């Protein structure tokens, strides 16, 4: 059976992260959404998203396709409903398609996946959550790390951790082969801690779970981590980080505070960069929505949400509830604006980051991690650049 994770038109609310990826490739917990389902089903999974993100591949065609809403945060009981789903049946919640089976799938777009497309409609008896806004990522990360930790460590044995470390609840700590951890304090009594393959935790770090760091990531000396925090693959982290997600290949390597934040891929926060995550009044934080062209309320705590390939100068000060677009070079004095659009140079794209220079600068950063910018990445960024107004 082919399994397809599909986007919906609501994907635009997840700006800036869906500018450069399908919803299925957003990281939440230890895995991306796609990786979670691939681990659950033990097979590769296709994604149905915007055409410019399809990497030149056609939509999968099969006589037997299981469709799953990529924004779905599955409950334990939802998996049972999924196993009981029959051919040409659809599971809905408030007329939103959550999952369906079909043998008619043929070059559909995600806008084609509507309840009327299927012969039998099943209303889900309980409510499940759907990922809609970017700030939900750090709000949901605690439970997501716990869920993914159970899946990724199942029937596996942790590497032995050196006695030079101070461990609380060591039964909740898992280190993959190649992980290097010395003279560190890890408290997993507050949630599990996962240290991925070939990660390095330098001396003097203090970690409070839930926490996960993926392959090749580094915590620099004296880093303070509060859960629930995720470092995707090949990130470098330092200073103080709380309840934040770095998708992958990004750096917050120096002193400064990052809290209740989400950082995309190939980002760099200059030394001393910090974000505010709560207003001086303690009131609700309003965050700019590009889709609605207005502010939406994100709760009492919300820090920085930064799109892919964006970098900030040293000592940058990000205001509470700041959104920055993709591929920006951010600098400026004082508190920065709480919305910085795609391809900004400074804090505005009135005179945008030159596209060819952006490619060259991304290449420089990628070479630092032994990678190169791809034609696929250039195509995506060219598409986004063309949409600037």
For residue 237, give Cα distances in angstroms to 91, 221, 229, 289.
Answer: 41, 9, 11, 28
Instruction: Please report the pLDDT score of residue 361 as a whole number.
Output: 98
pLDDT tens digits along 165-183 = 999 999 999 999 999 999 9
**How much is the pLDDT for 56?**
54
Q: In whole angstroms, what is the distance from residue 142 CA to residue 230 CA?
A: 10
125 & 141 share domain: no
Spatial separation of the C-alpha atoms in residues 365 and 346, rounded to whole Å: 18
Quote the CA–CA distance of 115 and 123 in Å, as a whole number: 10
Residue 230 shares a structural domain with residue 379: yes
Please check whether residue 223 is in contact with residue 238, taking contact to mean a CB–CB distance below 8 angstroms: yes
Whole-number Å distance between alpha carbons of 371 and 284? 41
pLDDT of residue 296: 97
Instruction: Using alpha carbons, list the distances in angstroms from residue 388 to 14, 342, 348, 383.
Output: 18, 8, 12, 9
User: Does one domain contain both 8 and 47?
Assistant: yes
Q: How confident is the model at residue 105 (pLDDT cuts 50, 70, 90)?
A: confident
DSSP labels, 17-48: GGGSS-GGG-EETTEEHHHHHHHHHTS--EEE
Q: Are residues 66 and 102 in the same domain?
A: yes
pLDDT of residue 57: 52
Report d(CA 328, CA 316) in Å as an integer.
14
- Average confidence (pLDDT) over 95-108: 91
Look at residues 102, 130, 158 and tell me which one is the last residue of a structural domain.
130
pLDDT tens-digit series, residues 222-277: 999 998 999 999 999 999 999 999 999 999 999 999 999 999 999 999 999 999 99
Of the three residues 109, 130, 151, the one that is the final residue of a domain is: 130
Q: With beta carbons less than 8 A apart as the criterion, state whether 305 and 267 touch.
A: no
Q: CATH number, domain at 173?
A: 2.160.10.10
Q: Mark whether 112 and 193 lie in a shared domain.
A: no
Which of 130, 145, 166 corresponds to the end of one domain?
130
pLDDT mean over 285-312: 96
Which residue range(s) make up the domain with 109?
Answer: 2-130
Q: Tokens in use for 176? A: 């993959």
Going by C-alpha positions, the residue among 354, 356, 323, 358 that lies closest to residue 337 is 323
- Does residue 228 contact residue 243 with C-beta atoms inside 8 Å? yes
Count structural domains, the chain.
2
121 and 163 in a single domain? The answer is no
Residue pLDDT, tens place only, 42-68: 999 999 999 999 875 555 566 689 999
Cα distances (angstroms) measured from residue 138 to each of 208, 243, 263, 376: 16, 6, 10, 28
Report residue 106's pLDDT band, with 50, 70 and 90 as the boundaries: confident
- The reported pLDDT for the residue numbered 125 is 87
- pLDDT tens profile 326-358: 999 999 999 999 999 999 999 999 999 999 999
CB 247 within 8 A of CB 229: no
- Per-residue confidence at 110, pLDDT binned at 50, 70, 90? very high
Q: Which of 83-92, 100-109, 294-303 has the lowest mean pLDDT?
A: 100-109
Whether 27 and 93 share a structural domain: yes
What one-character DSSP code corresponds to residue 88? T
| Residue (of 329, 314, 320, 318) closest to 365 by Cα position | 329
At 76 the pLDDT is 87
Residues 93 and 218 in one domain: no
Q: Are residues 121 and 153 in the same domain?
A: no
d(CA 213, CA 246): 9
């Amino acid at each position: 059976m082919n399994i397809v994770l599909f986007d919906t038109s609501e994907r635009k609310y997840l700006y800036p992260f869906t500018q450069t990826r399908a919803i299925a490739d957003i990281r939440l917990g230890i895995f991306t959404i796609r990786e979670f389902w691939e681990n659950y089903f033990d097979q590769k999974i296709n994604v149905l998203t915007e055409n410019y993100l399809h990497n030149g591949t056609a939509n999968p065609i099969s006589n037997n396709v299981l469709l799953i809403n990529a924004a779905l945060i599955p409950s334990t009981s939802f998996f049972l409903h999924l196993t009981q789903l029959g051919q040409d049946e659809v599971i809905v919640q408030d007329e939103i398609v959550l999952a369906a089976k079909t043998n008619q799938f043929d070059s559909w777009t995600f806008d084609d996946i509507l309840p009327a497309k299927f012969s039998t409609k099943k209303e889900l008896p309980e409510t499940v959550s759907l990922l809609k806004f970017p700030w939900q990522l750090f709000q949901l990360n605690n439970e997501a790390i716990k869920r993914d930790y159970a899946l990724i460590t199942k029937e596996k044995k942790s590497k032995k951790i050196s006695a030079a470390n101070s461990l609380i609840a060591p039964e909740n700590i898992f280190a993959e082969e190649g992980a290097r951890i010395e003279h560190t304090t890890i408290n997993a009594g507050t949630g599990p801690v996962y240290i991925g393959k070939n990660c390095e935790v330098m001396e003097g770090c203090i970690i409070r779970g839930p926490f996960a760091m993926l392959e090749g990531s580094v915590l620099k000396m004296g880093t303070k981590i509060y859960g629930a925090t995720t470092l995707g693959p090949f990130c470098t982290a330092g200073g103080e980080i709380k309840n934040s997600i770095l998708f992958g290949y990004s750096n917050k390597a120096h002193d400064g505070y990052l809290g209740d934040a989400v950082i995309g891929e190939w980002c760099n926060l200059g030394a001393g960069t910090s974000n505010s995550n709560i207003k001086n009044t303690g009131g609700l934080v309003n965050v700019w929505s590009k889709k609605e062209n207005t502010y939406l309320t994100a709760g009492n705590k919300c820090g920085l949400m930064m799109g892919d390939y964006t970098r900030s100068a040293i000592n940058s000060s990000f205001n509470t509830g700041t959104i920055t677009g993709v591929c920006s070079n951010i600098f400026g004095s004082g508190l920065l604006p709480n919305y910085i659009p795609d391809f900004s140079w400074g804090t505005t794209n009135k005179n945008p980051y030159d596209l060819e220079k952006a490619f060259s600068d991304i290449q420089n950063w990628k070479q630092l991690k032994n990678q190169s910018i791809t034609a696929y990445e250039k195509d995506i960024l060219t598409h986004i650049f063309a949409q600037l107004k």
